């Protein structure tokens, strides 16, 4: 069991930021990644559609004999976590939200927390309800920032356009006087620096990738599921292959990768 791969999925290629953090944290682990490029962006889809896609992908990863499943997408983590857990009963399922909630709640009493993410993530209200369940006095405000994911995919990063879009969103009145900002989308680690620069170090900007990788590493250790052989294999599947996705994937995973198409819908 220990030497089976970790299964990771996202609506597309954003989840590769999580896959990369996992590869750095757990270099012995094999990874099977699935990006649902045919159906992205999940952030614009209904809960039901995201749940159906996610369920199918979880079954694909189960068939590939993964030892656990990581939902490397905030939109799917927000609305499909319970359904996936019920579908995949015998292996651990991790989302990208709970480890962040744990971290924020430990350092927050009556603090003011801002959250940015896709429309699906923000309208689920999940961050507010989970933080307030642990810290009833925390004030949580959230803003959907749907232009950021396509902006990052098109590599509009660290330039005039990205600065303007980021400033426009972050100056929204919902995000004023916050102590912490949660980047609730797996694309956003790529603009972490720009967002931090916007705040000039005055607030804490929470990038979930390392927090999630740490959490998964410690859970796998507790469950004696860490790989004990140094022979990791990496496989990357997408539901719709294009050369453009492959090029962007390299940018998100920070190294050259080959994508394979897997049609899992029929
Ligand atoms: N990676 C997705 C997330 O974390 C955002 C992209 C999408 O909308 O599909 O929510």
Q: pLDDT tens for residues 9-62?
A: 999 999 999 999 999 999 999 999 999 999 999 999 999 999 999 999 999 999
Ligand 1 atom with the shortest distance to the CA of 42: 9
Inter-CA distances, 227 with 5, 27, 136, Å: 9, 9, 39
Tracing tokens 């750095």 back to the chain, one arrives at 24
Domain at 6-95+210-261: CATH architecture: 3-Layer(aba) Sandwich (3.40)
Query: What mean pLDDT comes out for the span 115-126?
Result: 98
- CA–CA separation, 184 and 174 (whole Å): 15
Indicate which residue of 73, 108, 111, 135 is catalytic: 73
Q: What is the pLDDT of residue 7?
A: 98
Residue 265 pLDDT grade (very low, low, confident, very high; cuts 50, 70, 90): confident
The pLDDT of residue 229 is above 90: no
Residue 230 pLDDT grade (very low, low, confident, very high; cuts 50, 70, 90): confident
**What topology is assigned to 98-208 in CATH?**
Rossmann fold (3.40.50)
Our mutation pick for probing the ligand 1 site, out of 118, 147, 191, 209, counting the most ligand atoms within 8 A of Cβ, is 118
Minimal CA–CA distance to 15: which of 58, 84, 76, 65? 76
Asked if domains 6-95+210-261 and 98-208 share a fold, the reply is yes
Ligand 1 in contact with 43 (CB < 6 A)?
A: yes
Three-class SS state of 260: strand
Residue 161 pLDDT grade (very low, low, confident, very high; cuts 50, 70, 90): very high
66: annotated active-site residue: no
Ligand 1 in contact with 42 (CB < 6 A)?
A: yes
Q: What is the pLDDT of residue 228?
A: 83
The pLDDT of residue 103 is above 90: yes
Positive/negative CA dihedral, 35, 37, 38, 42: positive
Ligand 1 in contact with 248 (CB < 6 A)?
A: no
The pLDDT of residue 178 is above 90: yes
Report H helices in 172-242: 192-199, 208-222
Query: What mean pLDDT comes out for the span 221-232?
Result: 91
Tracing tokens 């939109």 back to the chain, one arrives at 75
- For every residue of 181-193, DSSP letters joined together read EEEESTTGGGGHH
Q: What is the pLDDT of residue 207?
A: 94
Q: Which residues contact 173 (CB under 8 A, 6 or more apart)?
A: none
Minimal CA–CA distance to 11: which of 30, 44, 23? 44
Q: What is the pLDDT of residue 110?
A: 79
Peptide bond between residue 169 and the one before it cis (omega within 30 degrees of 0): no
- CA–CA separation, 170 and 145 (whole Å): 9
Q: In percent, how much of the chain has pLDDT > 90?
A: 95
The pLDDT of residue 95 is above 90: yes
Query: What mean pLDDT comes out for the span 163-169?
Result: 98
The whole-chain average pLDDT of the chain stands at 96
Ligand 1 in contact with 54 (CB < 6 A)?
A: no
The pLDDT of residue 116 is above 80: yes
Q: What is the pLDDT of residue 253?
A: 95
- CA–CA separation, 199 and 190 (whole Å): 16
Residue 5 DSSP symbol: P
76 alpha carbon – ligand 1 mean position (Å)? 8
Report domain extents, the chain: 6-95+210-261, 98-208
**Higher local confidence (pLDDT), 265 or 200:** 200
Q: Are 212 and 188 in contact (CB under 8 A)?
A: no
The pLDDT of residue 109 is above 80: no
Residue 107 pLDDT grade (very low, low, confident, very high; cuts 50, 70, 90): confident
Q: Is 172 left (phi over 0), alpha (psi -120 to 50) or beta?
A: beta
Q: What are phi and psi of 178, to 5 degrees?
A: -85, 155
Positive/negative CA dihedral, 87, 90, 96, 98: positive
């Amino acid at each position: 069991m220990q030497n089976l791969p970790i299964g990771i999925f996202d609506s597309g290629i954003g989840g590769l930021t999580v896959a990369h953090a996992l590869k750095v944290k757990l270099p012995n682990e094999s990874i099977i990644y699935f990006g649902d490029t045919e159906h992205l962006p999940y952030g614009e889809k209904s809960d039901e559609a995201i749940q159906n896609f996610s369920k199918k992908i979880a079954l694909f990863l189960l068939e590939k004999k993964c030892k656990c499943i990581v939902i490397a997408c905030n939109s799917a983590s927000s609305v499909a976590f319970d359904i996936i857990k019920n579908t995949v009963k015998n292996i651990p399922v991790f989302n990208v939200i709970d480890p962040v909630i744990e971290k924020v709640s430990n350092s927050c009493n009556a603090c003011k927390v801002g959250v940015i993410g896709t429309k699906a993530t923000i309208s689920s209200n999940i961050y507010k309800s989970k933080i307030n369940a642990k810290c009833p006095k925390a004030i949580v405000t959230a803003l959907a920032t749907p232009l950021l994911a396509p902006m990052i995919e098109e590599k509009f990063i660290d330039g005039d356009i990205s600065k303007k879009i980021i400033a426009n969103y972050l100056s929204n009145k919902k995000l004023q006087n916050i102590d912490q900002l949660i980047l609730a989308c797996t694309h956003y680690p790529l603009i972490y620096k720009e967002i931090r620069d916007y705040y000039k170090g005055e607030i804490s900007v929470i990038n979930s990738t390392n927090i999630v990788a740490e959490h998964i590493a410690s859970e796998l250790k507790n469950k004696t599921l860490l790989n004990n052989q140094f022979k990791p294999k990496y496989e990357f599947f997408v539901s719709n292959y294009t050369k453009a996705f492959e090029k962007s994937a390299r940018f998100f995973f920070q190294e050259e990768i080959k994508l394979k198409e897997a049609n899992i819908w029929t």
